[in-house]
Structures are given as C-alpha cells and as structure tokens.
C-alpha cells in the first residue's frame, strides 16, 4: 500500500483559491477510527430506535439552522452554483436525516407465527456493526448523508472517507452529530486518498460492510478488496442515462427536461441525461429547441445566485470532458452548441449530434455538461438503443401515451425510470442501479435493509423432549425418554 501524502490543499475550483489545508489520513488514522467505532457500536446499537431518531432529528434541525453556511462551503469546494447548494444539496440532506429518524422506528419484517407446528418464529433486524463508507466529490454533503443516516439509524457505527478534494461539509456534518449528542466514536471521518485511506478502510478486518459511491472501475476494486473479508458491499457506480423521447411527447417539456437533466451539477451526476434518443418526427425540433435553451444558460461565478452553470470540479476534469468532445468531433459528430476548449475549470454546455451508437461519447460516462442526441424510428428501436449500455442506473421516457409509458417503465433496464421528467428524487423512494451501475439502495426504507442483518429466532413451544424428527438421527428406539 502506498504511503499517504502529508497534507492536501482544498481549493475552490472556480477561482483556484486555497480554502483550507488538511492533514491526510494514513492507515494508522483509519485503524484508530475503525477501532473507536468498534468500541462504541455495541452501546449505540443497544439504544432504542427512538433514542437514535432523536439524534438524527437534532442533526436535521441544526443543518436547517446553518443551511447558508453549509451551502456556501459546498459551493466553494465543488464549484457548483449556490442555487443548487441552497435549494437541493442542503435541504435534501436535512430531509433525508428527518426521514431516517422516522424510518428507524418502523423496521418491518415477517410477522411472528407458527410456521412449524411446534415452534414460534420471529424476525429480528439487527445492525451489522461497523460500516466503512466512501463518498464521492460531486455531492459531498448529500452523499455523506445518504450513507451515514441509514447506517446510524439502524444502530451501526460508521467511518466515512469523503473525497479528499471535497471533505469540508462532511467534517461539518460530523460536528453537528457531536453537538446533537452522538456518542464518541460512533461516527468517524478520515480524510485521505483512495489508494491509501480508502483501501485501508475497505480492507480493515473490523469493518463489517463497505458502502461506496463512485466510478465503476474503482467500484470493482472496492468489491475485490471487500470480498477478501468477506464482507457485505453496497455499490452505487457510474451511469449513462438514456433520455427517450417518443413522437407524441410534449416537445417543450422534453426540451427543458433534457437541458435540466444534462446540466445539473455541471453534468457531474451519475443519473444525468447524457444521451437523448428522439423519434425521428421530433428530432430536428428537439435539437433546435435544446440548442436555443442552452444559449440562455448563464455560466459564471458559482457564488452568484444568477449563475446557472458554475465550474467543474477541477481544470483537469474540464480537460477530460473536452477530450471526450474532441474525439467525438474527430470521429464525425457535430457540435450544435459548445465544444470549445475549457477556460480553467469552466466548460461550456455542449450539444452534439451525428455520433454513432458505438461511439465513445455515447458509450462512456463523460461527467460534464455534454448531451449527445441520436434519432430513432420505431418504439422497439428506441428502447433497444436506450438499453444498449453496460450501465443501468437511471433512464427517462417522454410520452403522452399511457401504454408507451407503461412499456417504457417495464422495459427500460435501469434502477430508476422517470416518465416525463428526469432527475427528481425523494427520500421515501430508493436510489440504486443494476448492471455496471452497482447494487444496493440508498434512501428509503430499502436502505435500512442494506445496513441490517436479518436474524431468524425460532422458539420450541411444546416442551416435548423427544421430537419426531430425532428419528432421522438416532432411530425410533434410541435415545433417552428423560
């Protein structure tokens, strides 16, 4: 395992300003956090659901009270527009905390009963123990909440490693938990690199489950390391969401939905609308409409409430996005909007047409403000093109026809399918993918299932010493009558 660098500078990607310098955790720091979590977990796990819920509710209240501070820091470390931080990241995280405070008190299981005539069976849901969580840089606060809240609600202890370039709001969230009365050790934060702190966490023998959100290649590495435990793994990985527009769709709604779905968080979203398939009668109008709306998008200072599109996470990421676009143009695609070289970490919203289905820009995750549009003819072809991907995180279909909508909801191969919208999420509903997009669910009561173990308790209720089934072991005449 490589040695940890001593420190990292947290930068505002929009300006290059160094916001803060933090020491980076190495294996020793990870070990200390995990052992503290192991020591603290039994008492936390023995707390009543109501006691755990009270802490989560206090965190939600504190987060709402300090929403502006959290939003400002999230925007500074990520380069995302302040409107997104204020209206989605922070309130969405507070709502998630409130949801899991309630959900912790209503864990469900099969009813107790006599499923065998001589026994009463019941189901217990119990915490797994210590959870090692790794969160990404695109939604640092949101993703920390998605991982920490259900795990703590279920009675686990958590050690979370945020991305080393965006750790600040995760550290702030941990301090809220301290203030809310969470016992020492139950939640630990280690700020370090993936190859050092991340691998030490995933491989630690005292970690009972690993929860990772990030790219598919890194997710495979996480699964490989965790399997040596073996330990439970939850993976939310990459996506390449199709945006399927049938010829009876509301064109204005589809155009606006495509722009919003492609540009949210600068396109740095695993569920972003990245490839639109439009039935041929609407294709030209759709392309023209999207180009027009993209022309109104205001790119600039992320801290300015008037800004629609801030910077990407780094100049390096902007160059990576431009590499995808440049290769697509060289292969025969055409830029209707954008496509020019980045300005530092800023990249103009880009609309591409003319790419082939097997082109890199259509197949691989770009993670930037780029939408590629392709035509299709029959419904069957559109659905087949949408499903022609190794990913399966999210998809949307746009139609006024209830039968088309029903077919799309059944046949689109994704963990989430939106009809006549793209991107909205709610705490009550699960989020997670299939295929190369991973497995397991964030949010909703299904997330609590990820962080609990099902225990079957079977109680003999007759008091008879000699059971009929004993004959299969020592015969009808054997054994004692006592």
Residues in the chain: 482
Please give the biggest Cα pair distance in the chain. 89
Tokens of 305: 């409430």
Say if CB 443 and CB 116 are below 8 A apart: no
Tokens of 113: 């009963």
The catalytic residue among 74, 164, 199, 236 is 236
Question: Beta-strand (E) ranges in 167-307?
Answer: 187-189, 209-213, 232-236, 241-245, 273-279
Tokens of 246: 């049938």
Quick check: is 236 catalytic? Answer: yes
- Please provide the DSSP assignment of 118-164 as one string: TEEEEEEEEE-SEEEEE--SSSHHHHHHHHHHHHHHTT-EEEEE--T
What is the C-alpha separation between 128 and 232, in angstroms, rounded? 9
Quick check: is 78 catalytic? Answer: no
What is the C-alpha separation between 192 and 195, in angstroms, rounded? 9
Q: Are strands 157-161 and 130-134 parallel, antiparallel or unpaired?
A: parallel
What per-residue string of b and e applies to 89-101 under the rule 16 or more CB within 10 Å gives b? bbbbbbbbbbbbb
Cα atoms in the 13 Å half-sphere on the side-chain side of 133: 30
The catalytic residue among 164, 270, 449, 450 is 270
Q: Which residues are designated catalytic?
A: 236, 270
């Amino acid at each position: 395992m490589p040695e940890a660098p001593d420190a990292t500078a947290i930068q505002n990607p929009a300006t290059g300003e160094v916001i803060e310098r933090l020491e980076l955790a190495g294996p020793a720091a990870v070990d200390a956090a995990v052992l503290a979590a192991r020591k603290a977990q039994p008492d936390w796990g023995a707390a009543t659901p109501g006691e755990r819920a009270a802490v989560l509710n206090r965190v939600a209240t504190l987060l709402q009270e300090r929403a502006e501070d959290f939003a400002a820091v999230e925007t500074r470390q990520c380069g995302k527009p302040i409107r997104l931080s204020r209206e989605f990241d922070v309130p969405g995280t507070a709502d998630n905390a409130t949801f899991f405070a309630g959900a912790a008190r209503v864990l469900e299981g099969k009813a107790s009963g006599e499923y065998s005539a001589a026994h009463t069976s019941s189901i217990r849901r119990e915490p797994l123990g210590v959870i090692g969580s790794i969160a990404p840089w695109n939604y640092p606060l949101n993703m920390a909440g998605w991982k920490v809240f259900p795990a703590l609600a279920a009675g686990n202890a958590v050690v979370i490693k945020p991305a080393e370039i965006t750790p600040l709001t995760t550290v702030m969230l941990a301090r809220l938990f301290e203030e809310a009365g969470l016992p020492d050790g139950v939640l630990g934060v280690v700020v370090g690199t993936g190859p050092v702190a991340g691998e030490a966490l995933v491989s630690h023998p005292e970690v009972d489950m690993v929860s990772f959100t990030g790219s598919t290649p890194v997710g495979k590495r996480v699964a490989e390391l965790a399997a040596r435990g073996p330990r439970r793994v939850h993976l939310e990985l990459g996506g390449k969401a199709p945006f399927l527009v049938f010829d009876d769709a509301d064109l204005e709604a589809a155009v606006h939905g495509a722009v919003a779905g492609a540009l949210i968080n600068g396109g740095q979203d695993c569920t972003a609308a990245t490839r639109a398939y439009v039935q041929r009668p609407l294709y030209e109008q759709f392309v023209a409409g999207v180009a027009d709306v993209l022309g109104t998008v205001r790119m600039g200072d992320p801290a300015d409430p008037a800004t629609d599109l801030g910077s990407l996470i780094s100049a390096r990421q902007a160059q990576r996005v431009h590499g995808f676009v440049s290769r697509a143009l060289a292969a025969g695609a055409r830029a209707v909007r954008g496509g020019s070289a980045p300005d530092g970490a800023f990249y103009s919203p880009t609309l591409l047409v003319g790419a082939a289905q097997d082109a890199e820009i259509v197949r691989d995750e770009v993670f930037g403000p780029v939408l590629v549009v392709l035509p299709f003819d029959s419904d069957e072809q559109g659905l087949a093109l949408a499903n022609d991907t190794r990913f399966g995180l999210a998809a949307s279909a746009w139609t006024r026809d209830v039968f088309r909508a029903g077919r799309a909801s059944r046949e689109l191969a994704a963990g989430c399918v939106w009809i006549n919208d793209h991107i909205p999420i709610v705490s009550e509903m699960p989020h997670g993918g299939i295929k190369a997009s991973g497995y397991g669910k964030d949010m909703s009561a299904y997330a609590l299932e990820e962080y609990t173990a099902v225990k079957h308790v079977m109680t003999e209720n007759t008091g008879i010493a000699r059971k009929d089934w004993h004959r299969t072991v020592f015969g009808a005449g054997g054994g004692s009558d006592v």
